[in-house]
Structure 1
Amino acid sequence: MAVRPPGFGRVGADLRERARDRLLDTALRLFVERGYVGVRVEDIAKAAGVSRATFYKHFSEREEILAELFARLLGREPVAAPPGPPADALPRIRGLLADAATRMVANEQLARFVYTLPIRHASLLGQGARPPVLGVVERMIEEGAAARVVRTDIPPALITAHIARTFEAAMRDWAEGRAADVASHLTLLLDLAFQGVEAAR
């Protein structure tokens, strides 16, 4: 019976993680150079210096790479609501989303690729594809409604969906070169969107 050296399992996991990261980095580079549609699994494997069989040990299909790249962009860290009273829900949401957009565009190549895809690919729309910050936004909308600073005649989930589309539009405008600064552009679009959700005073 062979005896594995101490740490063999960790070393193996590190090697697998590095190989997976190399495939993701290579795929992103090829997607940017040739467009998503113009890149096949074979292209990714060859450029990464691995076989197709090795590719399939890490990803079942090209779409899984796309989903993983989007998850990278969104980040895996939990998002907390900024401090402040529920009565300030909308300004706090504005700041929270501007910060989230700024963090995303720090990974410029990945952010531009994701937000210039000609269609919102199913891999970006499935389970877990919603930026975690939007879950926080929905809770803040609920708090704002309870404090009567957000309309109560519209379900919080619908208001959040509207805000999500606004966030998406701002990111796409930035990625396609129609806005130089994503945070200020997003703030402008949110100001326009919030005029319809703010409670009448």
Structure 2
Amino acid sequence: MAVRPPGFGPVGADLRERARDQLLDTALRLFVERGYVGVRVEDIAKAAGISRATFYKHFSEREEILAELFARLLGREPVAAPPGPAAEALPRIRELLIGAAARMVTNEQLARFVYTLPIRHAALLGQGARPPVLEVVDRMIEEGAAAGALRTDIPAALITAHIARTFEAAMRDWAEGRAADVAPHVALLLDLAFEGVEAAP
């Protein structure tokens, strides 16, 4: 019977995944305590009980940790549009984004950290990458415009960007303590944003 060398196969992959998770948890704790700028790779490695060289076996840089934390917050599961007709795109988008915010705040420490970062979150996702929920919003906007529910003189991508900035502003307000409850605040800001993109009756 062949013996697998350490670090290979399902057991090795599981150990690597657990080590990455431990580094992410440690980094998040340090970022929350000291701020992102105040934490170096050496600090994360030391607090996790590993060497700097071992850290670099899992992450190439500190920014990669940020990207992974953001991906963890957004979730990796596919996002489905709420059911309903295309003509009801805006109420369905509202439902979708309130649900996304509610899921994010179940990990309150991570959500507050990410949405109080002094950098734009898009920078964490890598070139061309977007939160999965925005891909769904894009499709719903296009379908809503085709159904006559949304203005057609504004490009769908611009409407999605407007909605994305509104969602981010609502999340940041909550993270920085300007809104006590995230769901009604997201709903309020979305309602204000929707006024300008809804088709005239």
Q: TM-score, normalised by structure 2?
A: 0.95
User: Once the two structures are superposed, what CA deviation does each residue of 1:72-123 show, in whole Å capped at 9, x if it has no partner?
Assistant: 0000000001110011111010011000000001110000000001222674
Task: Tell whether 2:65 aligns with 1:65.
Answer: yes
- The 2-side partners of 1:102 and 1:129 are apart by 22
Is the CA contact (8 Å cut-off) linking 1:170 and 1:185 kept in structure 2?
yes
- The one-letter code matched in structure 2 to 1:10 is P
RMSD: 1.8
Is the CA contact (8 Å cut-off) linking 1:71 and 1:129 kept in structure 2?
no
Task: Tell whether 2:172 aligns with 1:166.
Answer: no
Is the CA contact (8 Å cut-off) linking 1:64 and 1:123 kept in structure 2?
no
User: Once the two structures are superposed, what CA deviation does each residue of 1:109-155 show, in whole Å capped at 9, x if it has no partner?
Assistant: 00000000122267425336522111101100111101101000111
- The 1-side partners of 2:121 and 2:188 are apart by 27
SS at match of 1:107: helix
SS at match of 1:116: coil
Is the CA contact (8 Å cut-off) linking 1:102 and 1:182 kept in structure 2?
yes
Aligned length: 200
Q: Which runs of 5+ in 1 are unaligned?
A: none
Aligned counterpart, 2:113? 113
- The 1-side partners of 2:121 and 2:39 are apart by 15
- The 2-side partners of 1:84 and 1:121 are apart by 30
**After the TM superposition, which residues 53-132 of structure 1 pair with which residues of structure 2 at under 5 Å, given as runs?**
53-120=53-120, 123-127=123-127, 129-132=129-132
Aligned counterpart, 2:36? 36
Bigger mean CA offset, 119-128 vs 137-146: 119-128
Percent of aligned positions with the same letter in both sequences? Answer: 89
- The one-letter code matched in structure 1 to 2:152 is T
SS at match of 1:106: helix
Q: TM-score, normalised by structure 1?
A: 0.95
User: Once the two structures are superposed, what CA deviation does each residue of 1:38-77 show, in whole Å capped at 9, x if it has no partner?
Assistant: 0000000000000001000000000000000000000000
Aligned counterpart, 2:143? 143
- The 2-side partners of 1:145 and 1:20 are apart by 43
- The 1-side partners of 2:16 and 2:110 are apart by 22
- The 1-side partners of 2:123 and 2:45 are apart by 20
User: Once the two structures are superposed, what CA deviation does each residue of 1:153-180 show, in whole Å capped at 9, x if it has no partner?
Assistant: 1110000000000000000000000011
- The 2-side partners of 1:190 and 1:120 are apart by 20
- The 2-side partners of 1:45 and 1:159 are apart by 42
Is the CA contact (8 Å cut-off) linking 1:144 and 1:150 kept in structure 2?
yes
- The one-letter code matched in structure 1 to 2:193 is A
Q: Which runs of 5+ in 2 are unaligned?
A: none
Residues 158 and 90 from structure 1, CA distance in 2 versus in 1: closer, same or farther, beyond 3 angstroms?
A: same
- The one-letter code matched in structure 1 to 2:115 is Y
